Amino acid sequence: MSAITTPGPLRHFLQLRDFSESEILYVLERGRIIKDRFKRYLPHRTLHDRNLAMVFEKASTRTRVSFEAGMYQLGGSVIHLTTEGSQLGRAEPIEDTARVISRMVDLVMIRTYEQTRIERFAAHSRVPVINGLTNEFHPCQILADILTFVEHRGPIRGRTVAWIGDANNMAYTWLQAAELLGFTLHVSAPEGYRLDPRRVGSQPAAVLREFDDPLEACRGAHLVTTDVWTSMGYESENEARRLAFADWCVDEPMMAVADPEAVFMHCLPAHRGEEVAGEVIDGPQSVVWDEAENRLHVQKALMEFLLLGRRED
Ligand code: CP
Ligand code: NVA
């Protein structure tokens, strides 16, 4: 039977910096071990009988499939909720939803709008809560991205990551990763869509460099990455963004000035011909399919860590 409560202090993963560098490195290494076992068809059922509730207030393909498949592969089970299909869509307070769901399951993953919404949920939850994307952060994606970089190119410490495009949930999570793991982040976004200095603060000055010209941001980078021009929830800005972002398409000239060994990543879904040229995302430097797959492996490690702590087996 599942315990419904977690041994040890209750931990959430609402943003990347909820974990220390050592905890992130542990989850990445554990994800690598879990992936290796998965590839060799070795059972790894450390969450036998545990139950994950997934709450989606926005659309998803990768997050849904990776959490759902991952939990079943770990020996557990999953409940899938959406806003429209639950009482959240009929204005039940998020706090009440948290109180109820967290008495019935072992773990919750939420994809929602404001970070404050997931924080309110977590504050009233008896079980760990995982951020499956908010307007502000996408920490599970960055875990997968860093695992992918490490697999292809080794440790990320001391390297340079170029973020081209909207200063969105992915960009701010990359910034937290740069601070925690010790690499440099180049960011280039059009005026009006740049990092907000109030959110950046003064600390990251050492790891962050901002560029007007996206090509200059790519120069010498070991990883070039981008995302859609319009994130979920901002669709009313579509036309204005199309105009503003026209020069922020990761293309072959940008990849040509990056490090010769540079890889290209995109969290997906992608729009070829908008934020990335087809030749880049479908080209030899692209690792986007490994990146997407690694959501599965690293999130299995994350769920295991939140429920069981560090494992030696
Ligand atoms: N990258 C990502 O989170 O994809 P989905 O929106 O399909 O879950
Ligand atoms: N920044 C995008 C990521 C989608 C996975 C969004 O929030 O829609």
Å from CA of 163 to ligand 2 middle:
14
Q: Which ligand is nearest to the CA of 143?
A: 1
Specify whether 31 is located in the same domain as 43: yes
Measured from the CB, is residue 61 less than 6 Å from ligand 1? Answer: yes
> Does 11 map to a domain?
no
Å from CA of 133 to ligand 2 middle:
7
- Stretches where the chain sits below pLDDT 50 are 1-6
* Catalytic residue check, 138: yes
Q: Which ligand is nearest to the CA of 61?
A: 1
Specify whether 133 is located in the same domain as 185: no
Q: What is the pLDDT of residue 113?
A: 98
> Does 232 map to a domain?
yes
The SS3 assignment for 307 reads helix
Q: What is the pLDDT of residue 205?
A: 67
Please report the atom of ligand 1 found closest to the CA of residue 111. Answer: 8
Q: Give, using CA atoms, the residue closest to atom 2 of ligand 2.
A: 231
* Catalytic residue check, 227: yes
* Catalytic residue check, 115: no
Query: What's the CA gap between 177 and 150, in Å, rounded?
Result: 14
Specify whether 28 is located in the same domain as 165: no
Specify whether 22 is located in the same domain as 38: yes
Residues in the ligand 2 pocket, defined by CB under 6 Å? 133, 168-170, 227-228, 231-232, 267
Specify whether 185 is located in the same domain as 81: no
* Catalytic residue check, 11: no
Specify whether 171 is located in the same domain as 240: yes
The SS3 assignment for 297 reads helix
Measured from the CB, is residue 267 less than 6 Å from ligand 1? Answer: yes
Specify whether 42 is located in the same domain as 155: no
The region that residue 158 occupies, defined by phi over 0 for left and psi between -120 and 50 for alpha, beta otherwise, is left
Specify whether 119 is located in the same domain as 169: no
Å from CA of 48 to ligand 2 middle:
31
> Does 219 map to a domain?
yes
Residue 185: strand pairing partners: 161, 208
> Does 36 map to a domain?
yes
Query: What's the CA gap between 96 and 90, in Å, rounded?
Result: 13
> Does 9 map to a domain?
no
The domain containing residue 166 runs over which residues? 141-291
Tell me the CATH number at 198: 3.40.50.1370
> Does 126 map to a domain?
yes
Å from CA of 124 to ligand 2 middle:
26
Measured from the CB, is residue 62 less than 6 Å from ligand 1? Answer: yes
Q: What is the pLDDT of residue 1?
A: 42
Strand order in the sheet with 107-111: 77-82, 51-56, 107-111, 129-131
Specify whether 95 is located in the same domain as 161: no
- Helix and strand numbers (H, E) in the chain are 12, 9
Total tally of structural domains belonging to the chain: 2
70 neighbors 16 (Cβ within 8 angstroms): no
> Does 101 map to a domain?
yes
Specify whether 107 is located in the same domain as 166: no
pLDDT in tens, 193-249: 999 999 997 666 689 999 999 999 999 999 999 999 999 999 999 999 999 999 999
Specify whether 230 is located in the same domain as 168: yes
Specify whether 146 is located in the same domain as 276: yes
What distance, in Å, lies between the first and last C-alpha atoms of the chain? Answer: 21
Query: What's the CA gap between 296 and 114, in Å, rounded?
Result: 25
Measured from the CB, is residue 133 less than 6 Å from ligand 1? Answer: yes
- 124: which DSSP letter? T
Chain centroid to CA 249: 21
Please report the atom of ligand 1 found closest to the CA of residue 58. Answer: 6
> Does 6 map to a domain?
no
Q: Give, using CA atoms, the residue closest to atom 7 of ligand 1.
A: 61
Please report the atom of ligand 1 found closest to the CA of residue 63. Answer: 8
